[in-house]
Amino acid sequence: MRPQVLVARAVFDEVLERLATHFEVDANPDDRILTPTELRDRLRGKAGAFITGSERIDAALLDANPQLRAVCNMAVGYKNIDLDACTERGVLASNTPDVLTETTADFGFALMMAAARRIAEGEHFLRAGRWTKWSYDMFAGAEVHGATLGILGMGRIGQAIARRGALGFGMRVIYHNRSRLDAAVEARVDARWVDKATLLAESDHLVIVVPYSPASHHLVGAAELALMKPSATLTNIARGGVVDDAALATALRERRLAAAGLDVFEGEPKVHPDLLTVPNVVLTPHIASASVATRRAMALLAADNLIAALGFGPDAGRPPTPLNPQVLQPAARGT
Ligand code: 8YV
């Protein structure tokens, strides 16, 4: 009998078809998010799962499903997966890096520009029928070209944003990351490492791209916001929880920060009520990777991870983007 897999959310038909060439597929075409109990029960008898950031994989779920061998996330972030619990139980976990880097960087840049140039505020004003005349200072925002772009977290997406800023907009790019980039990479992206306090104090536009972990929880809270220029903008395309949303809403309301662009939120899809009422913030529903081509590439990569992790396809035993490759058998890893 062919192995069974769960596809926890609705996804492109092409992905289901690819999985169906190897597995019995239990799909979720209605796209209703399964409760933790439903997810645990639906995984009974399944060898693998295609999941998204909405499905939580933890020790209790794995213990209830000892037959599970692979959980493949359609996301680069994996805040939803207890990776240690997977590794301890020999369950392969994977994510979808690289394929979304440029698309997510495009979106981060767009959100930063929208905040700086007050695009959403202007649009709401126009739609509300309040545009009756031109004024010299109407929605006058902050300059983007030539300004200082600060990047918090300098992985693949951070570097792609840095390149856009330096090469396309003549920005001075500074960054803070726990580990400094190699000099050659720094030169390529034209960015200079600074400590966190300097980053906050000098950025005209701060873009946050640091992955979520307990260590990055509220990395930017009231104390950090207080270091920023009142004329600055903050953009978060990382994960909810990296920024203290309540503190951010207060800073925006009190104009201690000019504007913000947010694609991710603490407790999303709920959004802090104060963020919904301050005008100087652009809010989007976690869509930074959402171009059709990129979402398709992410889904196919997650499927290919699942197929290979369960020992099928051209890369049998060698999933392309594993998070814990140490659980693979040495022979299967080709070492
Ligand atoms: C995903 C993301 O679409 O890849 C990530 O980490 O945040 C998004 O691109 C989202 O997490 C759904 O899985």
Tens digits of per-residue pLDDT, 130-175? 999 999 999 999 999 999 999 999 999 999 999 999 999 999 999 9
Q: Is 156 a catalytic residue?
A: no
CA distances from 145 to 173, 211, 227 (A): 11, 27, 23
Question: What is the rounded CA–CA span in Å between residue 143 and residue 318?
Answer: 47
- Mutate-to-test residue for ligand 1 from 50, 78, 98, 100, highest number of ligand atoms within 8 A of CB: 100
pLDDT of 108 over the 80 cut: yes
Tens digits of per-residue pLDDT, 176-222? 999 999 999 999 999 999 999 999 999 999 999 999 999 999 999 99
Which residues, in sequence order, are CB contacts of 90 under 8 Å at separation 6+? 69, 327
Q: Is 38 a catalytic residue?
A: no
Q: Is 77 in the pocket of ligand 1 (CB under 6 A)?
A: yes
Distance (angstroms) between ligand 1 centre and the Cα of 298 equals 9
Q: Is 76 in the pocket of ligand 1 (CB under 6 A)?
A: yes
**Residue 263 main-chain phi, psi, to 5 deg:** -110, -10
pTM of this structure: 0.95
Q: Is 203 in the pocket of ligand 1 (CB under 6 A)?
A: no
**Residue 234 main-chain phi, psi, to 5 deg:** -130, 130
Calculate the CA 101 to chain-centre distance: 10
Q: What is the pLDDT of residue 329?
A: 75
